[in-house]
Amino acid sequence: MEERLQQFIDSNLLDEVDTELDGAARFVQHQVVQLARDCLAKSVSKHISTSYFCELSDNLEQLLHDVSTLIIILILIRMTMFMVLSS
């Protein structure tokens, strides 16, 4: 498991010059990599437990909520900009 987590982390690091992802996608990718790093650290230190996985699940659920809110805000901003530029 630890090797696969490290491979996931290594393959999903954001480069500063990565321009293919927008801000929301970068935010999500960064947060998921941080959760993977935390999971790897817990595994290496032998602190993986049921309560840790419950906490991880809660964190992922909060991330989903935050991203949903962020996407709605971005859509509203883009719609407003379109309306301003159209008039």
Which tokens in the block code for residue 1?
């498991």
**What is the domain-level CATH number for residue 23?**
1.20.1480.20
Mean pLDDT of the chain: 87
In the prediction, which pLDDT does 38 show? 95
The DSSP 8-state label assigned to residue 16 in this structure reads T
Q: What is the helix, strand, coil percentage profile of the chain, to 5?
A: 80, 0, 20
Query: Which residues span the domain enclosing 76?
Result: 2-86
Please determine, for residue 17, whether its predicted confidence score (pLDDT) is greater than 50.
no
Any idea how long the chain is? 87
Residues 83 and 22: their CA atoms lie apart, in Å, by: 21
User: Where residue 59 falls among pLDDT bands split at 50, 70, 90?
Assistant: very high
Q: In total, how many domains does the chain have? A: 1
